[in-house]
């Protein structure tokens, strides 16, 4: 009887899920309620978790609850600590969910709500969550080895090196694009700039508090920090209205970019406890708090999504970034659907905390579903705006025109009506001078969030909500920037240590300064170019980031597929080989188009040649001609970088295929590094199960 | 209800690392009885420095 009831329940969930997905796919009206999105997402996640992840856990990975995990075997009270699964889930989710799932869906909304939503849902359940879960499993069985180590030990030196170099490259691009998002949010906005600037001393106060004043009192210090952050949002409004103070914080993009670069260098060489660690606490609390409040607000308000299901920009003429629906929607939304970066967290940190192997399903698969849900909420927040407003905020001045009148004329001409008066009113409500051409996704997401929060919790505070949302995005973007620069430095020191061992010493100050400067110069260069580019820079950097992130995911899936085949699980290898194939198709196609396309908005070489020809014929206005040589060089560099990513990808794939072929042909392959079975100590909990 | 709130508070403390020193003392009392434990300050320094050695945050 109970089974029949259960089956009926799952049948009901399946039917509602199908209805909701069908609803959002086939709906062609003026607007569609956001509850359809929530319902579709929850049903898809529930079904995938209940059936697909359970099947993977039982049949493919054969999770063994009686096997002692590294945390149990190597418990040292520090990095190896057996931890309750909900606590590990919290740590893992806080580590994987960054600003990526908020920015990607916002940009991809230029194709309409449908393509992005479907990719977030199905990419996550068939690709991203599988990648996270399998990587977590493989690393747990190997005492918490990192992805690079696993690639080297299981596939060979080539795969290992490719994984290491790829990780370093993706870090540089990621930091540059995130820095650009923050710069675009702060450009000529004294309120946003002063609030973001205030987060630095606030983090230091919190750091000093929990290091010296009340050592280890993390929660007290964080509560103090959160209160100060909220005050800084209100204080920013005061700065904005103060005629003398506001000029201090009213800057061009380029000035802000230099400040961000200087900040990144300082953060990388300052002690961790002073800036990075306290900032991380604050951003984690802010992130979790805001995501929960946003979910509640969407459920309370059930806003209407006004963006059409598909826009005409699926043909590749979109203003936010160039390129057709296929493959660029899959490149633009990496985090939230499938993100290679997660493989770095799922190997290394999280496996050292697992109390029991069967928790892998909930932590690996479950946490990714939650991140995917965050991406769905970002998609809702972007698409509840009037499409005209959405495009006015996100289209760079180089595409729609510098003057407000030109921009609204162009955008209205696309069939998304918007007026200058409407944009001015909106900017005034949000406490900003203008909202035209505020590219990067953060401002439009903040407007979307502010309008949702404002309708749910009080319309009068729109400007506060807007700047709260900007502060919330900026604080964890800056955390990623700090942490990423530091990780990049460690990697670089590791690589350079092979050439000159002294450089590899992480505590030798000259080496710290030198390698930090190199890493900051790396991302600082791309940030600088992005800021001086009249087309906004995001349209170049974000696809590059997407390609590199998907490449890393492909490396993780290759390692997993290779290990499955080697361990005699060929018939289940499709579980990772399927998403891998899809990633290889989309990254290779996107890279091919970015390099070879004749369309100047897609192809890097085409854009470089086009600009060189215009420069030579004197067709460029003087301010554009001044930066043209740098932009031309950058487009060529980006083309080579894309080529480099795709070569790394194929090297790893071919290496994996070589290992599989050798195994299947009966030739010797590297032995598995899986730790042999050791029984878990019996405890009361097991006996009960 | 009170028990539930207490349990929730324990989860929050555990997640944030607020109770890290107490956990360390317990671990120390079980496994390394022969040597004196670190002071709160010294432990927290070591804990925080160790926490930031690898990739800890994603995009």
- pLDDT, tens digit, for every residue of A215-271? 888 899 999 999 999 999 999 999 999 999 999 999 999 999 999 999 999 988 888
Contact A173, A544 (CB under 8 A): yes
- pLDDT, tens digit, for every residue of A80-114? 889 999 999 999 998 898 888 999 999 999 999 99
The CATH number of the domain holding residue A643 is 1.20.1740.10
- pLDDT, tens digit, for every residue of A629-650? 999 999 999 999 999 999 999 9
Residues whose CB falls within 8 Å of the CB of residue A255, separated by 6 or more in sequence, listed in order: none
A68 φψ region: left (φ > 0), alpha (ψ -120 to 50), beta (else): beta
Orientation of helix A538-566 relative to helix A574-596, angle to 10°:
150
Residue A342 is encoded by which pair of tokens? 């997660």
In chain B, whose CA is at the least distance from the CA of A479? Answer: B57
pLDDT at B30: 82
Contact A463, A430 (CB under 8 A): yes
**Average pLDDT, integer, range A279-308:** 91
User: Strand ranges (DSSP E) for B1-59?
Assistant: none
Residues whose CB falls within 8 Å of the CB of residue A41, separated by 6 or more in sequence, listed in order: A121, A372, A373, A376
What residues of chain B lie within 8 A of the CB of A211, using their CB?
44-45, 48
Identify whether A232 is part of a domain. Answer: no
Residue A683 has pLDDT above 70, yes or no: no
pLDDT at B23: 86
* CB within 8 Å of chain A, chain B residues 1-59: 11-18, 20-21, 23-24, 27-28, 31, 40-41, 43-45, 47-59
Q: Which of B15, B41, B57 lies closest to A87 in CB terms?
A: B15
pLDDT at A687: 44
**Average pLDDT, integer, range A652-675:** 94
pLDDT at A688: 42
**Average pLDDT, integer, range A596-607:** 94
- pLDDT, tens digit, for every residue of A495-552? 898 889 988 887 888 999 999 999 999 999 999 999 999 887 888 999 999 999 999 9
Contact B59 A280 (CB under 8 A): no
Residue A516: give the domain boundaries.
Answer: 7-188+251-670
Identify whether A312 is part of a domain. Answer: yes
Beta bridge partners of A67: A679
**Average pLDDT, integer, range A319-328:** 94
- Work out the mean pLDDT of chain A and round it to a whole number: 92
**Average pLDDT, integer, range A682-688:** 51
Q: How many domains does chain A have?
A: 1
Tokens 């003057």 sit on residue: A403
* Measured distance CA(A207)–CA(A209) in Å, rounded: 5
pLDDT category at A689 given cuts 50, 70, 90 is: very low
pLDDT category at A662 given cuts 50, 70, 90 is: very high
**Average pLDDT, integer, range A416-428:** 95
* Measured distance CA(A189)–CA(A248) in Å, rounded: 11
* CB within 8 Å of chain B, chain A residues 465-504: 479-480, 483-484, 486-487, 490
Q: How far apart are the first and last CA of chain B?
A: 38
- Give A240: exposed, middle or buried? Use CB within 10 Å, 0-12, 13-18, 19+: buried
Residue A277 has pLDDT above 90, yes or no: no
* Measured distance CA(A343)–CA(A586) in Å, rounded: 19
Identify whether A233 is part of a domain. Answer: no
Contact A121, A21 (CB under 8 A): yes
Beta bridge partners of A354: A83
**Average pLDDT, integer, range A351-365:** 96
* Chosen from A72, A73, A77 to mutate, greatest number of chain B CBs within 10 A: A77
User: How many CB pairs lie under 8 A apart between chains A and B?
Assistant: 106
Identify whether A219 is part of a domain. Answer: no
pLDDT category at B35 given cuts 50, 70, 90 is: confident
Q: Which of B14, B28, B57 lies closest to A483 in CB terms?
A: B57
pLDDT at A411: 96
Residues whose CB falls within 8 Å of the CB of residue A477, separated by 6 or more in sequence, listed in order: A98, A99, A178, A179, A181, A182
Identify whether A647 is part of a domain. Answer: yes
Identify whether A171 is part of a domain. Answer: yes
Q: Which of B15, B16, B58 lies closest to A342 in CB terms?
A: B58
- pLDDT, tens digit, for every residue of B36-51? 888 888 888 888 877 7
Q: How far apart are the first and last CA of chain A?
A: 22
Identify whether A216 is part of a domain. Answer: no
User: Strand ranges (DSSP E) for A242-400?
Assistant: 304-305
Contact A100 B54 (CB under 8 A): no
What residues of chain B lie within 8 A of the CB of A217, using their CB?
18
Contact A439, A105 (CB under 8 A): no
Instruction: Give ipTM to 2 decimals.
Output: 0.89
Q: Which of B41, B50, B57 lies closest to A480 in CB terms?
A: B57
- Higher per-residue pLDDT: A165 or A571: A571
Contact A95 B57 (CB under 8 A): yes
In chain B, whose CA is at the least distance from the CA of A268? Answer: B52
* Measured distance CA(A440)–CA(A182) in Å, rounded: 8
Contact B47 A78 (CB under 8 A): yes
Identify whether A688 is part of a domain. Answer: no
Q: Which of B41, B49, B50 lies closest to A79 in CB terms?
A: B50
pLDDT at A205: 95
pLDDT category at A684 given cuts 50, 70, 90 is: very low
DSSP conformational letter for A679: B
């Amino acid at each position: 009887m109970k089974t029949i009831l259960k089956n009926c329940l799952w049948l009901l969930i399946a039917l509602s899920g199908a209805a909701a997905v069908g609803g959002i796919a086939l709906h062609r009206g003026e607007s569609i309620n956001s509850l359809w999105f929530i319902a579709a997402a929850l049903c898809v996640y529930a079904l995938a978790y209940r059936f697909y992840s359970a099947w993977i856990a039982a049949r493919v990975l054969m999770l063994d609850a009686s096997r002692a995990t590294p945390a149990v075997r190597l418990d040292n009270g520090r990095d190896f600590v057996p931890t309750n699964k909900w606590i590990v889930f919290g740590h893992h989710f806080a580590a994987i969910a960054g600003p990526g799932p908020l920015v990607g869906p916002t940009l991809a909304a230029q194709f309409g709500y449908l393509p992005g939503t479907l990719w977030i849902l199905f990419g996550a359940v068939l690709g991203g969550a599988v990648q996270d879960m399998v990587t977590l499993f493989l690393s747990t069985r190997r005492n918490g080895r990192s992805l690079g180590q696993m690639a080297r030990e299981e596939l060979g030196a080539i795969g290992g090196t490719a994984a290491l170099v790829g990780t370093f490259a993706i870090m540089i691009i990621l930091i540059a694009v995130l820095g650009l998002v923050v710069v675009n949010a702060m450009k000529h906005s004294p309120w946003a700039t002063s609030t973001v600037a205030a987060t630095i001393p606030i983090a230091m106060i919190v750091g000093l508090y929990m290091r010296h004043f009340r050592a280890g009192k993390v929660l007290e210090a964080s509560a103090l920090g959160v209160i100060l952050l909220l005050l800084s949002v209100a204080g920013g409004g005061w700065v904005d209205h103060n005629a003398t103070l506001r000029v201090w914080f009213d800057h061009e993009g380029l000035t802000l970019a230099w400040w961000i670069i200087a900040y990144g260098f300082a953060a990388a060489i300052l002690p961790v406890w002073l800036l990075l660690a306290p900032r991380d606490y604050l951003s984690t609390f802010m992130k979790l708090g805001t995501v929960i409040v946003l979910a509640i607000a969407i459920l309370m308000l059930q806003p209407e999504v006004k963006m059409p299901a598909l826009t005409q920009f699926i043909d590749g003429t979109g203003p936010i970034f160039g390129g057709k629906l296929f493959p660029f929607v899959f490149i633009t939304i990496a985090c939230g659907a499938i993100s290679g970066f997660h493989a770095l967290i799922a190997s290394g940190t999280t496996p050292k905390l697992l109390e029991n192997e069967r928790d892998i399903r909930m932590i690996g698969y479950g946490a990714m579903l939650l991140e995917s849900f965050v991406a769905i909420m970002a998609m809702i927040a972007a698409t509840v705006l009037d499409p005209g407003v959405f495009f006015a905020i996100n289209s760079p001045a180089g595409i729609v025109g510098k003057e407000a009148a030109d921009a609204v004329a162009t955008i209205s001409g696309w069939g998304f009506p918007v007026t200058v008066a409407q944009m001015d009113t909106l900017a005034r409500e949000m406490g900003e001078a203008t909202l035209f051409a505020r590219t990067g996704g953060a401002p439009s997401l903040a407007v979307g969030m502010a309008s949702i929060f404002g309708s749910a919790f009080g319309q009068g505070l729109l400007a506060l909500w807007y700047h709260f949302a900007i502060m919330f995005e900026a604080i964890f973007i800056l955390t990623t920037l700090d942490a990423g620069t530091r990780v990049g430095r460690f990697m670089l020191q590791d690589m350079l240590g092979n050439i000159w061992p002294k450089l590899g010493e992480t505590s030798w100050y000259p080496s710290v300064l030198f390698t930090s400067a190199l890493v900051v110069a790396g991302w600082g260069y791309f940030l600088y170019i992005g800021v001086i580019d009249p087309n906004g820079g995001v349209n170049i950097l974000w696809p590059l980031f997407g390609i590199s992130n998907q490449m890393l995911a492909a490396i993780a899936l290759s390692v997993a597929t290779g290990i499955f085949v080697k361990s005699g699980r060929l018939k289940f290898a499709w579980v990772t080989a399927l998403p891998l194939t899809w990633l290889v198709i989309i990254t290779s196609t996107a890279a091919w188009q970015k390099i070879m396309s004749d369309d100047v908005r897609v192809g890097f070489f085409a854009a470089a040649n086009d600009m060189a020809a215009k420069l030579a014929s004197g067709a460029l206005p003087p301010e554009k001609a001044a930066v043209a040589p740098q932009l031309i060089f950058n487009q060529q560099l980006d083309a080579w970088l894309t080529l480099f990513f795709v070569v790394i990808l194929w090297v790893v794939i071919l290496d994996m295929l070589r290992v599989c072929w050798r195994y299947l042909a009966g030739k010797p392959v590297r032995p598995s590094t899986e730790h042999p079975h050791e029984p878990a100590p019996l405890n009361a909990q097991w006996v009960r199960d | 209800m009170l028990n539930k709130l207490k349990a929730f508070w324990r989860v929050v403390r555990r997640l944030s690392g607020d109770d890290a020193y107490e956990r360390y003392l317990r671990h120390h009392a079980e496994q390394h009885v022969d040597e004196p434990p670190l002071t709160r300050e010294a432990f927290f320094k070591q804990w925080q420095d160790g926490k930031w050695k690898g990739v800890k945050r994603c995009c």
